[in-house]
Structure 1
Amino acid sequence: MNIIFKKASHSELPDALKFFKLASLALQEKKVNQWDYWQNPPKDKIDWVQEGFENNEFYFVFDLSGNKIAMFRLLETDTLYWEEKGLENDVRYVHSLVVLPSFGGKGVGKAVMLKIIEQLKQENIKKFRLDCNASNLRLCQYYESYGFQKVGEKITKYSVNNLYELSLG
């Protein structure tokens, strides 16, 4: 699948919040207890998204027809989930990979993950990390299918998250 990554602009912040809400509603329909807070996001979550936009860490994903079909946040450091390990060099962290529900099940998530991994390898990044709600076993297995290894756990006020790492080097 051919996709294009574009850094999100500040004016697209409402689009990001809409993506989160749509994903939350889709998860709710599937009876997956994750991201309910995006239906009426608390201040700390909105602040987290705004920070990502200010740091130019959010990307939107487009198909070749110009449709905005997914988004993600890519960080160079992540102490919120990874604490001191989150400051290591040659590591990248992906958060908030959201595929619009209307494009779900079409391989978009896989295409996004493979393209991110390919780009990180080209940049000589050694490790790729992410977190995943531990109660979402299907999503945990999805990331494990890429070779991500569970290396820890992080408890937040919203969930228990598995910490995953993929060696790229």
Structure 2
Amino acid sequence: MHLKIVSLMGALLLASACSSSQTGAGTGGQGGLGSGTAVPGSQQDLAQNIGDRVFFSLNGYDVSSEGQATLNKQSQWLQQYGNVAVIIEGHADERGTREYNLALGDRRANSVRNYLIANGVQPSRVTTISYGKERPAVPGHDESAWAQNRRAVTVVN
């Protein structure tokens, strides 16, 4: 009886180890260090090694100095991987009307697009979309959550 229990526990551990080793593969660039080797030119590569998002101030769409540093690295990465096209997603926090936040997300996405183009990325490789407040990255109703939701995300297309 004791041997059956030990065997069952071993099988469960083996099964859980196999399933957890595969969960980082399709995280859409959200994996951290140690979640596997990213394929060069992939979303995971961009997110892990360059950074796939920039953040904005309340009601703002101007790219900050921190955002510029990230976008400088993104433009170099995009020039290295000339066959990669991207979509810039514009997002807003939950405050404001749906219409206002869609327009703000559009301005944020286009600010990022314009910055990348000004740094040598071909315009045909960069498209934009606004999700407004419809896709928060972080749930919550406080400044910490709102700050993380005021963003533009570069997504490999």
Quickly name the TM-score band, shorter chain normalised. Answer: 0.3 to 0.5
- Looking at CA atoms only, which structure, 1 or 2, has the larger radius of gyration? 2
**Greater share of strand:** 1
TM-score of the superposed pair, with normalisation by structure 1: 0.32
Q: Which has the higher contact order (CA 8 A, sep 6+)?
A: 2
TM-score of the superposed pair, with normalisation by structure 2: 0.33
**Greater share of helix:** 2
